[in-house]
Each structure stands twice: as C-alpha cells, then as structure tokens.
Structure 1
Amino acid sequence: MAHIALYRTWRPQSFQDMVGQKHIVQTLQNSLREGRFSHAYLFSGPRGTGKTSAAKILAKAVNCLNGPGVEPCNRCEACLRITEGAVMDVVEIDAASNRGVEEIRDIRDKVKYAPTEVRQKVYIIDEVHMLTTEAFNALLKTLEEPPAHVMFILATTEPHRLPATIISRCQRFDFRRVALEEQVERLRQVCAKEGIAIDEDALAFIARLSDGGMRDALSLLDQIIAFSGERVTYEDVLSITGGMASDQFEKLAQAIQDRDIGAALALIDAFMQEGKSADKCMENLIYYFRDLLMVKMVPNSEALTERILDVKRFTAVAERFTGEALIAMIDTLNYYQTEMKYSVQPQTLLEVAVMKLCSGSPVTGRQGGADTASAGSGDGQTIQRQDALVGQLLSRIERLESQLAALVKQGVAPGGGAAPAGGSSGGGRSAPAPAVSRRSIEKLDAYVAGIDSPEFRHAAQQWSQVLGRVKELKITVHAWLVDGEPVGLSDTNLLVAFKSAMHRETSERPANKQLIEQAFQEVIGQPYRLVTVMLKDWKAATEQTKSADAPKEVLELIPEDEGPGGAVKEEWISEAIQLFGELVKIKDE
C-alpha cells in the first residue's frame, strides 16, 4: 500500500483529537449538546491549526446517525462516508480555484433543494478570502437566510480580507497557534504509534520550527523519518532542516565578546561548509541574540520556554553582555539581513555583520574594574560620536537657513524653488496666506502679459495632448497634473495653476517635474520649464493687475442744451411725439 503522509494519517477525526483549540472545541460541543448550532460559521487562524479538520468534524457531528451529539461516532455509514468525501450533501469547495460569481450562483441555486443522503447539507468553503467581490455579493443573502437544512462553514487564514457584511453573518472562531508543549506531546504520540524512537530535543526543535502549525510539524517529522529511519536524533533534525545547534552560536557569541574576528569567521566558514545558507544563519543568529536579550531583560518568564530549551545555559551566556549591547547587535544583524535580500553575495554580508560585531565598542558587562572601565570608555566614545553628529547636523541646518534667506531676498517662495507666486507648497502643513502680496503680483506681471501671446495660445491648445502624454509615461503623475491648468507664459517658463496644494506639491517633485517637462518638449515642441502657482493666488493677482491697469472714469458737468446730454433729450421728445402724438405737452423747467 502506498505511503500516506503523516499529517493526513493523523488528521483529527473527532473533537477530542484536536490539539491546542480547547476554547473552540468546548463552544462547538456545547452548541451540539443543546442543539443550538448556527447556520454559518467562520473559522480563521494560521495555517495548519485545524480549521478544515474542525469543519469536517462538525459536519459529521450534525449528520451522525447516532446523533447529533458532542462527538461523531465515526462508525455509522454517514460518518464513514463523510470522512471519505463520498457524501454529495457535504460539499468542500476550494475558493482559491472556484472564486468567481458563477460558482457562488451555482451554490445559491442548489441550496434550496433538500439533502438526499444526510439530514443537513453542509458547504465547507476553504480559503474563502480568495472569492471576488462579486462572488461575496452573490453569497450575502444566502449566507444570511439559508434554508433550515443548510449550514455554511467558511475557513480562511486572512480574515481581514473578508467584507464586514460576510463576517457579521457568521459565528466567528479564531484558531490559535498550537503551544510548543502540546505540539511536543502530539508528536510523541505519533512517534510511539509509528514505532519511531526520537530524542526529546529533536521533538522540541521540530515543534519550534513549525511555528505553531501542527500540520507543518507532522510534515517535517515525516521528512525526518524518511531521512533517519526508525531512530531520530537531534543531529538528524539539524542536518535535514539546515538548523544550527545553540552551542555553535554560543561559540560565536564568545568570539564576538573576545573580539576574535578569526575565530568568528572560522565558525561562519564551518556553517557554510556544512551546507547552511547565509540567510538562514543570519535568521538563526538574530533569534539567538533575541533569546539572550529575553533572558537578560525578562528573567524567570514563562514565555521563554517557547523557544529556549536550556534556560540556565542561556542565562550564563546572557550575563556576559549588557542589554544595550544585545539590542545594538540585533539592530546590526537586522540591517544586514535586510541588505541580504538584494545582494548576490549574502555570505559576504554575513561575514561583514559578524566582523562589525567583533570590532565594535566593548560589549562585556561583567563585574570588575577593568570591565567597568572598558564599558565606561565605550559609553564615552558613544557620547563623543553623538556630539559630533549633532554638530554636523547643526552646521548643515545653518547652511540651509542661509541659503533659504538668500532665496527669499531674490523673491523665490520658501515652499518650493520653482514657485513664483505666494502661497505655501507644503500642502496642508501650513495655513495659506490671507492675500497675495504686491511682490507676488509683480512677479506674475510677466506671465499676465504673456497671456495673449501666440506661444501661450499654442501651449494651451496642446494641454490635453500634454496630459495624455504624461498619462502614457506615468499614470500617477497624470493624476496629480490633471488638477492644474496653464495660465501664463514668460520666456521658457510655463505657469500652471493648481486648485489643490497637495497636487501642486507632488507635481513639483524633481522626478515628476522632469517627466512633465519631457512631455512639454515632446508635445509642444519647446523646452518649457514647469512653474506652478495656486489658482486662487493667480486669480487674485490677475484681478488686482487688471484693476490697476483699468482707465479711470472722469465725471463732467454738461449743460442740458449742450453736448451729448442735450441731443439725448431731443431724441426722447421726438420719440414721445411719434408714440403719443398730440397728447405730448412740453414744459421747460
């Protein structure tokens, strides 16, 4: 008979077989005992924690011929056929491959038919977060008010991706990661039943690597048994998983404390010769120093047992370092781990990280005059470096302030070097100026004068093509630029007015501005430079400019019988006579 994977062989068939989900098992059993089970359940949690298994057990419990009861009997025809997946009324759907609205509509059309083989029709939808929005909408009404003979069980590892309207229609159960002790006990039972002799350290290490997933732990155990046979040792687990024993890291920590770069690099080379990957070494090294920090900062904590097998040994190593030193080393390792993702030589980065730890300031924190002096000098060096950095930052700020003052004297707006008009380019970070200054108006005079030029009319006519070209180059820049419109031209500067300060600021960013000016060159045919202004400031400036240039009205007193006024009076009299004839009487006043 073909071999069946351990996680399939040892899949729970009843609630009592489930590991680490006591809160869920108790709730479901109480519901079954009282006959108050719901029409829709949502099982969420990390992978390998028993969501699908619990759904199948619940389906058997409600359809058991000897029930429904708190446990399926697993002996009647209904239980046996549901376990085999041969009952048409218990449907398990993989939403990752059946995620469309048509599949959900098919379910919606079939739920109204009564079950033919068992008393309750059950739909188990696994990875339900993969359904499309349209599929969720099609499921809503059916999920809220299904027929009395239908039960839905939704399972997902990402509940945050589900619409709130779906979650609110279900009873939600959150599955937890299985505790290390419970995983070890379950693995011990499996090995005993399978006739496998295994070390306790090996069991604990497998449980640690599974990260709370019982299925992952069984899969890993299956792989190790294939490698080792009927006798599994701790070394076999390290060999097959690529892990490293804590005593190897203890030697590395000692080399770092002694500043022995040669010994540290020799250990790294030994890891590589054993086939360990550099990124795995870095990850395990970070975990090791994390465990040392936990022992140092939180002694006698129960949380340490999840990862640390020999707490006393870790405590002895942690006493050689200060808490600040361990935090600094973790920061350094984390930085180089991030850089590893983009490097073609990850081993080199691992070696550089270890050498940096070895060559840093003294990290020993043991009692004694020499060690205390070293720590003090290290702290002094750190303070000196911080003072030097602060001095550099202050001098840089002074230079920037002087440059800003020079720009203001030249009439450039502080919000952005390209802005000729008033108003801040910082978006909503500062309050807008209540009015446009005379200086800004004077700076806009050149653009106002260029409104009637044929060059500006040509540029304005090509604006829609410019927007289209920007959209082709980068659609996100188009989203910001579409808020603006060309309003003026001066020499090679094209002035664009924006309604939104945020859109203006984003368009002025160097990369975006370069792309927009490229579109100017390609569409308009001229190397125009982008200059921006707020639309309200432009309108205010143009209105004040027009009022300043408008001709002044002159009031004159003209006798009634002279000038234009007298002629108008004669016209009124003539028109009145034509309309009313002899009824018109003229009187001089």
Structure 2
Amino acid sequence: MSYQALYRVWRPRNFVDVVGQSHITRTLQNAIVQEKFSHAYLFSGPRGTGKTSAAKIFAQTINCRQAPIAEPCNTCDACQGILDGSISDVMEIDAASNNGVEQIRDIRDKVKYAPSSVAYKVYIIDEVHMLSIGAFNALLKTLEEPPKHVVFILATTEPHKIPLTIISRCQRFDFKRITQRDIVGRMETITEEESISITKEALHTVALAAEGGMRDALSILDQAISYSDEQVESEDVLAVTGSVSQKKLMEMILALFENDAQQALQIVDEFIQSGKDPGRFVYDAIYFLRDILMYQSAPQLDILDRAMVDEGFQQLCNTLQVEWIQKVISILNNCQQEMKWTNSPKVFLEITVLKIIEEPLQHAEGNAVEPESVKQLLQKVEQLEQELKALKQNNVAYESQQTQQQAQKRRQPATKKQFKVPYERIRYVLEHASKSDLKNIQSQWANFMQLLKKQNAPAHATVQDSKPSAASEEALILAFKYEIHCSLALEHQQTIELLLSEVIGKKVTIIPIPEKNWLEIRQEYVQRQRQQQNADSNEEEETDPVVEEARKLVGDELLEIHEE
C-alpha cells in the first residue's frame, strides 16, 4: 500500500513546522544553540498538538552532525537514521503497552552505556501517565541523576496523573490547543502542495471539528477528501463529522427565538432523519450560542470556537438578547446532561425545544415573549373586562353581578389541586417516633437516592428536595420544600417505598408533608409534650404525702415547696 495518511506525510520535520507552539519551540531552540538543555523534559497538552513530533525534532537537533544549531538539517546520517528509526540510541516508547517495572528497569540498565551512533541517547516515553506506580518508582532515581549522554522526554495528555516527584525532576512545557487560524493556515499550505481542491469554508469547518488538534484536522481532511467528488465542500466535512451546518443552526435558533414550534421541530426531525447524533446537535448549538455571546461582548477578539463571522451571523447577533441566550444555553445544558441517562435522546431534544418556546423569555426590546396559551388567556380577560364595563354602564344591580361572578367561579375548574396534609397520621407517627429509626434512614439516605436515580429518574427528581424529618418503626415523614412535590411523591410512592425498604432492610411507609406545615406541627407537638411534662410534675407534687401533711398543718397560703 503506497498511500500514507496526510498526518503522517506532513508530520513536522523542523521546529518551525510545529504549529501554534512558538512559546515552546523558541525556548528549546535557544537552549540547544547555547548547549544548556536539560536532561529531562515533560511535554503535556491535548492530543494532536505536536508533543511527540517536537520531542523527535529535539532528538534530531541535539544529535545532528552540524550541532549546535536551531533546526535539524534532515540530510546527515544522524538525522536520517533518527527519522527512519534505524538508530537505536533514540527510542520512542509507548507507555500504554510498556508500563511495567521490567521495561523501566531495562531502560535503567541500558542508560549507563554510551551511545553507539550519535552524541546523546534520547528516550521519548509517550503517554507516560499510563506507567504503574512501581514503574514510576523505578524511573525516579535514573530521571534525577542520569548520565550526561542521556535525555528523557516524557509526553502525556493527562499530567495530573503523574507523581509530583517525577514532575519536579523535569522541565515542563504545556502545549496549548491550536487556534483555528493556525490550523486553517497549515491546511492551506498542505492542500496547495498536494493539489487538493477545497473551499475556504470547508477548511474552516474542518478546523472547527478538530477542536484544537492539528492531527485531528488532517485526519478529518483525509476523510472529507475520500468522501467528496472533485472539490471538498463544507457539506462533505459536515457529513463525515456529524456536525451541523452554521446555516441550520441559525435557522433553528431564529425559530426558537420567534416561538415557531413547527419550524423548530421540523429542523430537529430532518436532522435526526439524516442520521445525525442529537447529542452533537445540542453540543454545536451550545457552542454556537456561546460564540454569539462572545461576539456581542468583544467582536474584535478572535475567540470564536464554532461560528464563522458572516453577514447572517452578524444579523443574528444584533437580533438576539443576552438574557435570552443565557437562558437557552442553561436549558440546552440540562438537556445535554439528561441525554446521558436515556435511550431516547430525540424525545429529550424535542421536549427541550418546546420548553424553550413555551417559557417566557425576553426579546431585544425587553418585552416578554409569551406562549400562545397565555395570549389567549389575556384576550379572554380583556373581553371579560369589557363586558363588566358594559354591565356597569347599563346599571346592572351589584348583587346580580356578585351572583353571576360566584356562579362563574363555581363553573371554572380548579387550576391547582391542593395537597391535603394528613395531620392525624403525622401525629400518630410522632407519638411512636424514635431517634434510632430516623438515624438508620438518614445513614442510608444518600445510597438510596443514588439507587433511585439509576432506577427511576423522575421519582429521584421528585424526592431530591425532601428531607427525612421523623421516623417510627413503620413510617417515615418526608418534609418537602415545595408543596407540589408532595403530590408528585404520592404518584411514585410504590417505587420509593419498595426501594427504601430494600435499602434499610424493613418495610416502611412514606408520608409527605410541605416543610412549612411540618414546622408548625412539630412545634405544636413539642409544646404539647412540654405541657404534659409540667402537668405530670404538678401531679407528683400534689400526691406527695409530705406535702399533703404540711398543707393540712399550715395551709396553702403559708406553704412553700423547694426542689432539692
């Protein structure tokens, strides 16, 4: 097979080819030219940002026959041997598959021998965070005091997993995500050299999908070239990455802003029918709205992650209001979290679209965007006000108006079903409650809530704001922050009671009560207990025979009783 992937063909051969990391390459070049480079380096950063490429270029530069120089010549036998892997003094080790103590001990035994072909032995350990604790310990002493002819370069995407004792013995360089501008510029050079026909918009779409990784960008470009016919278009890139076009995103956001449910749901359905991932759609929408916020706040800064600035984007930025965007991002973020726990992401996406449309948000002029149902109610209220005014003008008797209003109220259905607090049941539980029963449930409550979330998410959401407040052998009083959750808890009562009984090891019945009612009934119970204790104390005093005999001798007026 003669074809090679673009990221392999165009792997950097010089420091100047390492895109977007000039703060690192310049430091390394100066150290090499001045012959003040260290014995150990740690290269950390996201994938595809040039860590192992920079390490290999560093190994070539210090071993080049023309050293000390700022760039390898790539023509001498040392540079060529390191490039093709024929020189064994420069070793690239994958720590993911060589993470044991034995492999590190083998390195430790070999570093004491002088290099055979070049001036320095260089060990490049990729994904070094995958090493075991024993392997790190075996590497520690060698890394601290290696021979003068050895250089270690450790590369990782997760530096927080590396022991601090290792990090402290290395010079650390943090590779950053490559900007879209740098990625596009590098791809323009490559496509021009490779004679690849591609549009400017397609290059930007590739850079957006790469998320700061040059290797990812070249891999996506390779896929798009294979997918397209003669010229690579933006639609080709969107097809291979599963992303959403900026045009579709703007149509969707505008439909949501204008409360056009039909248009918004139709766009969602077309997106799903084309085989795209709903999670990717939400992800793209969040970042696109984020870019609108950033552009509204600082249009001069080049900090956009998802959007390309054109006339349509600027017009949308002028239309949308900051508060509306922030609320929509919050709703979409909640949808993104819920999608992780469901097998029906399309349903969650459609519900989220309707929720955004139904919730009264703010337009750029500051007027509330009201749902259709609210508008209808307001029209009915206005109509009733006009009828009432007409009745007053016609001198209709006040009593007749009151009678009609009362009859109308009786005919209107209740808009809110009030929760009936079971006071007698709660008082009965309080009479038989014990601290041990309550502590037993409280100790298992966190475990119970975690299991309930996995088993039944709606039930978990209902009980989330509740608190076990009192418990007897057979019942548990749950105080809820909101009254509506009491009614919802009764709908999931069987699920909650079965799981709670399994967790605590005995059957128990839940009794929901709003928090404000619980505070009242608890205060009432405490006062009644105190009164009962005072009454019992007085009764003991009255039945004491000594007190009775004293009362007979001196009378109640002269009698004083002192507690000892």
Q: Under TM normalisation by the shorter chain, which class is it? A: 0.5 to 0.7
Q: Output the amino acid matched with 1:417.
A: L
Gaps of 5+ in 2: 378-415, 444-472, 475-497, 507-564
Distance 2:422 2:76 in 1: 83
Superposed CA offset, 1:439-469 (max 9, x none): xxxxxxxxxxxxxxxxxxxxxxxxxxxxxxx
Distance 1:516 1:252 in 2: 49
Distance 1:317 1:400 in 2: 54
Moved more, 400-409 or 242-251: 400-409
Q: CA deviation at 1:234?
A: 1.8
What SS does structure 2 have at the residue aligned with 1:232?
coil
What SS does structure 2 have at the residue aligned with 1:172?
strand
Q: Which residue of 1 aligns with 2:66?
A: 66
Q: CA deviation at 1:303?
A: 4.1
Distance 1:233 1:173 in 2: 37
Distance 1:406-1:292 versus aligned 2 partners, 3 A rule: farther
Q: Output the amino acid matched with 2:218.
A: L
Q: Does 1:169 align with 2:190?
A: no
Superposed CA offset, 1:128-182 (max 9, x none): 0000000000001000001111111110000000001000111111111111111
Asked if the contact 2:191/2:197 (under 8 Å) is kept, the reply is yes
Q: Does 1:35 align with 2:39?
A: no
What SS does structure 2 have at the residue aligned with 1:37?
coil
Q: Which residue of 2 aligns with 1:85?
A: 85
Q: CA deviation at 1:10?
A: 0.4
Asked if the contact 2:324/2:362 (under 8 Å) is kept, the reply is yes
Superposed CA offset, 1:309-336 (max 9, x none): 1165334223433322222212222222
Q: CA deviation at 1:23?
A: 0.6
What SS does structure 2 have at the residue aligned with 1:197?
coil
Q: Output the amino acid matched with 1:129.
A: H
Q: Which residue of 2 aligns with 1:527?
A: none
Q: CA deviation at 1:288?
A: 2.4
Superposed CA offset, 1:218-242 (max 9, x none): 1111111112255212222222222
Identity of aligned residues (%): 46
Gaps of 5+ in 1: 382-391, 420-424, 427-491, 494-509, 519-589
Q: Output the amino acid matched with 1:192.
A: E
Distance 1:127 1:401 in 2: 63
Asked if the contact 1:195/1:230 (under 8 Å) is kept, the reply is no
**Aligned residue runs from structure 1 range 497-576, under 5 A:** none
Distance 1:514-1:418 versus aligned 2 partners, 3 A rule: farther
Distance 1:21 1:400 in 2: 68
Q: Which residue of 1 aligns with 2:357?
A: 358
Distance 1:64-1:400 versus aligned 2 partners, 3 A rule: farther
Superposed CA offset, 1:3-35 (max 9, x none): 011000000011111110001011101101110
Moved more, 247-256 or 134-143: 247-256
Distance 1:324 1:177 in 2: 30
Asked if the contact 1:320/1:366 (under 8 Å) is kept, the reply is no
Q: Which residue of 1 aligns with 2:138?
A: 138
Distance 1:355 1:516 in 2: 40
Q: CA deviation at 1:402?
A: 12
Q: Which residue of 2 aligns with 1:449?
A: none
Q: CA deviation at 1:374?
A: 5.8
Asked if the contact 1:41/1:172 (under 8 Å) is kept, the reply is yes
Asked if the contact 2:21/2:175 (under 8 Å) is kept, the reply is yes
Q: Which residue of 2 aligns with 1:76?
A: 76
**Aligned residue runs from structure 1 range 475-486, under 5 A:** none
Q: CA deviation at 1:53?
A: 0.4
Asked if the contact 2:363/2:369 (under 8 Å) is kept, the reply is no
**Aligned residue runs from structure 1 range 15-164, under 5 A:** 15-164=15-164
Distance 2:327 2:305 in 1: 24
Q: Which of structures 1 and 2 has the bigger CA Rg?
A: 1
Distance 1:324-1:416 versus aligned 2 partners, 3 A rule: farther
Distance 1:136-1:258 versus aligned 2 partners, 3 A rule: same
What SS does structure 1 have at the residue aligned with 2:115?
coil
Distance 2:103 2:191 in 1: 42
Q: Output the amino acid matched with 1:118.
A: V
Q: Does 1:251 align with 2:251?
A: yes
Distance 1:68 1:404 in 2: 86
Distance 1:317 1:401 in 2: 56
**Aligned residue runs from structure 1 range 406-425, under 5 A:** 412-413=434-435, 417-418=438-439
**Aligned residue runs from structure 1 range 265-414, under 5 A:** 265-296=265-296, 298-310=297-309, 312-366=311-365, 371=367, 412-413=434-435
What SS does structure 2 have at the residue aligned with 1:75?
coil
Asked if the contact 1:44/1:175 (under 8 Å) is kept, the reply is yes
Distance 1:56 1:323 in 2: 47
Asked if the contact 2:121/2:149 (under 8 Å) is kept, the reply is yes
Q: Which residue of 2 aligns with 1:531?
A: none
Asked if the contact 1:295/1:314 (under 8 Å) is kept, the reply is no
What SS does structure 1 have at the residue aligned with 2:319?
coil
Distance 1:149 1:14 in 2: 23
What SS does structure 2 have at the residue aligned with 1:12?
coil
Superposed CA offset, 1:166-200 (max 9, x none): 00111111111111111110000000000012111
Q: Which residue of 2 aligns with 1:540?
A: none
Q: Which residue of 1 aligns with 2:547?
A: none
Distance 1:144 1:405 in 2: 71
Distance 1:114 1:177 in 2: 37
Q: Output the amino acid matched with 1:322.
A: Q
Distance 2:433 2:330 in 1: 46
Q: Output the amino acid matched with 1:124.
A: I
* TM-score using structure 1 length: 0.64
Asked if the contact 1:114/1:149 (under 8 Å) is kept, the reply is yes
What SS does structure 1 have at the residue aligned with 2:438?
coil
Distance 1:305-1:6 versus aligned 2 partners, 3 A rule: same
Superposed CA offset, 1:345-377 (max 9, x none): 22222222112222221442237xxx46969x9
Q: Which residue of 2 aligns with 1:232?
A: 232
* TM-score using structure 2 length: 0.67
Distance 1:22-1:406 versus aligned 2 partners, 3 A rule: farther
Distance 1:153 1:116 in 2: 20
Asked if the contact 2:64/2:78 (under 8 Å) is kept, the reply is yes
Q: Output the amino acid matched with 1:307.
A: R
Distance 1:373 1:333 in 2: 19
Asked if the contact 1:321/1:363 (under 8 Å) is kept, the reply is no
Q: Output the amino acid matched with 1:252.
A: M
Superposed CA offset, 1:397-427 (max 9, x none): xx899999997876744x96257xxxxx89x
Q: CA deviation at 1:274?
A: 2.6
Distance 2:156 2:319 in 1: 45
Distance 1:411-1:361 versus aligned 2 partners, 3 A rule: closer
Distance 2:277 2:433 in 1: 59
Distance 1:58 1:34 in 2: 14
Distance 1:417 1:23 in 2: 60
Distance 2:216 2:196 in 1: 18
Asked if the contact 2:360/2:368 (under 8 Å) is kept, the reply is no
Distance 2:342 2:503 in 1: 30
Asked if the contact 1:365/1:372 (under 8 Å) is kept, the reply is no
What SS does structure 1 have at the residue aligned with 2:99?
coil
Q: CA deviation at 1:305?
A: 3.8
What SS does structure 2 have at the residue aligned with 1:56?
helix
Distance 1:191-1:411 versus aligned 2 partners, 3 A rule: closer
Distance 1:353 1:59 in 2: 53
Distance 1:401-1:140 versus aligned 2 partners, 3 A rule: farther
Distance 2:433 2:197 in 1: 84
Q: Output the amino acid matched with 1:366.
A: E
What SS does structure 1 have at the residue aligned with 2:92?
strand
Q: CA deviation at 1:512?
A: 9.7
Q: CA deviation at 1:253?
A: 2.1
Distance 2:504 2:242 in 1: 52
Distance 1:144 1:403 in 2: 72
What SS does structure 1 have at the residue aligned with 2:122?
strand
Q: Output the amino acid matched with 1:94.
A: D
